[in-house]
């Protein structure tokens, strides 16, 4: 089965087709049998690399973080009425970092001070998917596969949970912080990749949209006795078994759901649940992180990794036309986002280092694509122009910023986890089009690099209903060895 999209179709039609095809793949996942390790991936056939990281924290800048306004500054021109949009590249001046000769954008002074612990990739690239939908590109980044697929593809964190296993059997191996999956735009598309897919519920994420409320998620309701809690758990298991959906679920998927309940039950009765309570941190420490939900999520991520979580994603949250999704008011919005991420990211790196955890924790800052003032997609793309402010000259502040989706070159920052320190890899052009012109890094190769750091061969595969499925698309991802220390 193949899926096709008409790049010239209106966005609402493309989105409707996307949802329909995702729903079909999701239904198929319920009926999928046991995913079996491919013979070629079994021990003795594929040799897993020596892990350089035990944990991974993905700091997700949902909505399209503009590289020229963050980690890849270009020619800067300040706001001025009459400024030609074609002359607008960076809307923040460059500032020095802790690495000689390396500059990033004003507003990220804290992160600049810890860039000597980082590898900065300036040449990450995404494919031109014809019709650019954030959720399609986010699905691709998080799973390694362009959606929709004929099977429900596992999230990067689910692969780590399944193949590398838990670091602490009580702690969830995959935790997702900061993203609401109800009540926000494109929620069904977000749900489609925030999942373990064919691996089953036990490898899926524990979703914590509000980090300040995470402690409530791992405690029985107030006033509930231990005996009542045990009885409720037994009743819930019976309800699952008697669910009308039971006939649509394979035995494997049913058993995986029950195993996920067992794990949750163990967590609720463990001392590790205290890791979810950020109020146990000193007030002084909490304030250093507290720039909002994202900042509090970074603090929670640090606590969870300390207690044995394998993979934690913290997001600024994707909501259409908010946060990094800057279709208008680009400069003003990014200035606010700088303030939201700079202090907590900096403090996270310093705290991990102080605790001796940074060397074995891979911290990644990434987004689905970059932005450009003129170009949708990349040169030659026939993607619909989705800019809301289609002007040739800047006459108001809302015009000042990078509004269109750009896939030809963006930045990814990686701290710790065996990566080089104070290292820059790749380059984008100095003038438009800002394409990756040195050492482009595809999503397949970026994922292969991440998985290699986590001790997982990029060629690991499973048989799903007679179809081979790999951790990187068609097992073709190759780790970028130059990034490793």
Cβ atoms < 10 Å from Cβ of 472: 28
| ∠ CA 129-134-138, rounded to 5° | 85
| Residue 41 domain flag | no
| Residue 183 domain flag | yes
| Residue 15 domain flag | no
For 412, list phi and psi in degrees, rounded to 5: -135, 135
Quickly list H helices, 114-225.
Answer: 134-143, 156-159, 187-193, 214-217
pLDDT at 10: 55
| Residue 365 domain flag | yes
pLDDT at 199: 92
pLDDT at 385: 85
Rounded Cα gap, residues 291 and 306, in angstroms = 22
Give the number of domains in the chain.
1
Q: What is the DSSP string of 439-476?
A: S-B-HHHHHHHHHHHTT--TT-EEEETTEEEESSGGG-
pLDDT at 2: 38
Looking at the chain, how many residues does it have? 485
**Single pTM value for the model:** 0.89
Looking up residue 239, the CATH number of its domain turns out to be 3.40.720
Residue 225: domain span = 49-483
pLDDT at 449: 98
| Residue 410 domain flag | yes
Residues of the chain with pLDDT under 50: 1-7
Half-sphere CA count of 352, side-chain side, radius 13 A: 30
| Residue 81 domain flag | yes
Place of tokens 């910023």: 401
Residues 295 and 344: beta-carbon distance below 8 Å: yes
| Residue 368 domain flag | yes
């Amino acid at each position: 089965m193949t899926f096709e999209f008409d790049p010239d179709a209106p966005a609402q039609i493309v989105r409707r087709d996307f949802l329909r095809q995702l729903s079909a793949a999701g239904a198929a996942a319920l009926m999928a049998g046991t995913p079996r390790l491919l013979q070629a991936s079994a021990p003795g056939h594929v040799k897993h690399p020596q892990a350089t990281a035990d944990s991974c924290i993905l700091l997700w800048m949902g909505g399209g973080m503009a590289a020229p306004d963050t980690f890849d500054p270009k020619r800067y021109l300040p706001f001025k009425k009459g400024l030609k949009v074609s002359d607008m590249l960076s809307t923040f001046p460059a500032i020095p970092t802790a690495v000689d000769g390396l500059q990033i954008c004003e507003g990220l002074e804290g992160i600049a001070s810890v860039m000597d612990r980082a590898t900065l990739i300036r040449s990450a690239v995404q494919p031109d998917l014809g019709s650019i939908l954030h959720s399609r590109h986010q699905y691709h980044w998080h799973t390694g596969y362009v959606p929709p697929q004929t099977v429900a593809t596992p999230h990067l964190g689910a692969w780590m949970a399944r193949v590398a296993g838990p670091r602490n059997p009580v702690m969830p191996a995959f935790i997702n912080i900061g993203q609401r999956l109800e009540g926000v735009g494109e929620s069904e598309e977000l749900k489609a990749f925030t999942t373990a897919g064919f691996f089953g519920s036990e490898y899926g994420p524990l979703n914590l949209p509000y980090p300040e409320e995470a402690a409530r998620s791992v405690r029985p309701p107030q006033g509930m006795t231990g005996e009542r809690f045990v009885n409720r758990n037994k009743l819930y298991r019976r309800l699952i078994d008697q669910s009308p959906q039971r006939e649509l679920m394979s035995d494997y998927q049913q058993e995986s759901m029950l195993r996920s309940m067992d794990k949750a039950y163990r967590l609720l009765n463990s001392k590790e649940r205290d890791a979810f309570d950020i109020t146990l941190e000193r007030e002084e420490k909490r304030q250093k992180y507290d720039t909002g939900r994202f900042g509090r999520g970074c603090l929670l991520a640090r606590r969870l990794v300390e207690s044995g979580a394998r993979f934690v994603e913290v997001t600024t949250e994707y909501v259409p036309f908010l946060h990094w999704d800057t279709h208008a008011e680009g400069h003003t919005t990014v200035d606010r986002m700088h303030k939201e991420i700079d202090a907590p990211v900096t403090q996270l790196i310093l705290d991990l280092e102080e605790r001796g955890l940074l060397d074995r924790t891979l911290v990644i800052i990434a987004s689905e694509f970059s932005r450009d003032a003129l170009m949708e997609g990349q040169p030659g793309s026939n993607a619909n122009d989705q800019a809301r402010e289609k002007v040739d000259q800047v006459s108001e502040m809302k015009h000042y910023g990078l509004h269109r989706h750009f896939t030809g070159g963006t930045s990814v920052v990686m701290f710790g986890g065996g990566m080089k320190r104070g290292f820059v890899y790749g380059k984008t052009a100095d003038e438009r089009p800002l394409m990756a012109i040195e050492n482009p890094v595809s999503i397949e190769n970026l994922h292969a690099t991440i998985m290699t750091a986590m001790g997982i061969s990029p060629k690991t595969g499973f048989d799903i209903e007679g179809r081979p499925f790999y951790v990187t698309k068609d097992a073709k991802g190759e780790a970028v060895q130059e990034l490793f220390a």
